[in-house]
Structure 1
């Protein structure tokens, strides 16, 4: 679809995943619970610098003139690290990036990766449910994250109405993404073990202080905003995605108002966490609106 409209997607994998590189021992060690916030933050922000260098290299090598950078799901956290790292770049790279990059889009960021604590009503994510075995957590997460959650009246931003898990009484407006796949087939398409070799720590409960620090450095730092100039900061979220995504978007919009910082939070009705599979045209249109 994108090429037919004159665009192209360039999708680098996170480290440890196919086509990318493993973490060094120092980096992997830093991403373990018990390390100081300063040590984890240093290594985490370095990953953002590497990714932004990749973007700059693509701009130069491919002669790109108009770029939108997006990070989806856990990758939205690495987008935050990228955004922060521009302050460490010098010209001409910094000037080139702020001239060519036309939008920064956090797509369906889960609350944990942004350092947002659970709502007062609590929260539930299968991957962190210690009542389940590790195998059950993976299977349950694979079934949970692809569902449609009919959160009522999303525009009201009432956390008491968030749906943590669907019940038999709650009918999904659409079938779960990849509904024709068995859980076993689903696990063949994704890798829930790669992170255990390096960055599973990211997004967990112990990661919240680091996530919050990067939240401040990316969205609400005067130095970061000055470095990026007029490049707009946007958050896209599927209004029927997991509660973690809805909650993060609400809290971000709330703090943006409090701090008088411009962040566009755009809900996409009828969309879950996987619009690139179920509704690619809707998602692409939403991206273009962020330019």
Structure 2
């Protein structure tokens, strides 16, 4: 499938690259915009995109800044991303800019392709996978500083936010991608100093595509999760035809790792997006993961459930949770029809 681009900031010359399933046959349909995680580019959603028309939905996957086809970060943006900048004001500005870019991409796409609104039986679902969940959160939390006409249009279209997640100490989501504390049980190759630094990202990229046999996920006991050991009972996604061309281990992927510097800003974005009743009051919030995924994902789901009990007010929408039996972090690649059915149900 051929990539296209949309301009999201004409003055700065910023374009985002995307692939699109195209509109299905019927006049009214939901459009799902997907944001990829670390390492894996927008093509990680290719198998879902191929199925979308037959399911009556439109599926669009975009590449974030610094990934192929999309405008790289400027030297100043790259410096702030990699170092955390000189203080909160720089970090807040950078986070807001990343959120605005994707929000403007959605708004531009809506206008260019006459996407059906919620009132006409359509609307938009924003899907953030892995680190993409962090970016989905900042899209929603930063909308109130966009131009009024953009806010008005998005309010007519935003029907759901879906966080489809995994987590680890340095490449979110939850808990760390939401700015929440990392469990003491946490382990990944990215933080294992016994592994040579240049091999940590590739090692993580292989390991996270495994399946994990957790002793118990009902009792909410972090010690019952398999934090390190992968399952011998299921072939990892690594061996399921995933091309090297959609995997990035160089400078582009490395720009994601320092997001640890932004935990304060990410926490604020997550809580505003999930628990502020004034932010897209009609928008559904959903959290999806598999029961064979990395332990961080399940720990993240529990953390959000605990936060919801404490922070959600009576006038805010309840969060929808969905655990997919037998699924790992790459169900959209290993079982795309099942994944798409879940995304549609959550939309």
CA gap of 1:37–1:249, structure 2 versus 1, over 3 A, is farther
In structure 1, runs of 5+ residues without a counterpart are none
Q: Is the partner of 1:164 in helix, strand or coil? A: coil
Shift in Å at residue 54 of structure 1? 0.5
1:226 aligns with 2:283: no
Q: Partners in 1 of 2:330 and 2:142 — Cα distance? A: 28
Greater fraction strand: 2
Matched ranges for 1:67-78 at <5 A: 67-78=124-135
Which residue is 1:238 aligned to?
290
Root-mean-square deviation (CA), in Å?
A: 2.1
Q: Partners in 1 of 2:211 and 2:287 — Cα distance? A: 19
Question: Would you say the 8 A contact 1:113–1:207 is kept in 2?
Answer: no
Question: Would you say the 8 A contact 2:84–2:91 is kept in 1?
Answer: no
Which residue is 1:210 aligned to?
265
Q: Is the partner of 1:227 in helix, strand or coil? A: coil
Question: Would you say the 8 A contact 2:127–2:164 is kept in 1?
Answer: yes
Which residue is 2:190 aligned to?
127
1:8 aligns with 2:64: no
1:115 aligns with 2:179: yes
Q: Number of residue pairs matched?
A: 279
Which residue is 2:160 aligned to?
103
In structure 2, runs of 5+ residues without a counterpart are 1-50, 117-122, 168-173
Alignment partner for residue 232 of structure 2, among 148, 167, 171?
Answer: 171
Matched ranges for 1:1-291 at <5 A: 1-33=51-83, 35=85, 36-65=87-116, 66-110=123-167, 111=174, 112-120=176-184, 122-166=185-229, 171-172=232-233, 174-179=234-239, 189-195=246-252, 198-202=255-259, 204=260, 206-220=261-275, 222=276, 225-260=277-312, 261=316, 262-291=318-347
Shift in Å at residue 199 of structure 1? 3.6
Question: Would you say the 8 A contact 1:80–1:215 is kept in 2?
Answer: yes
- How high is the TM-score relative to the length of structure 1? 0.88
Which residue is 2:170 aligned to?
none
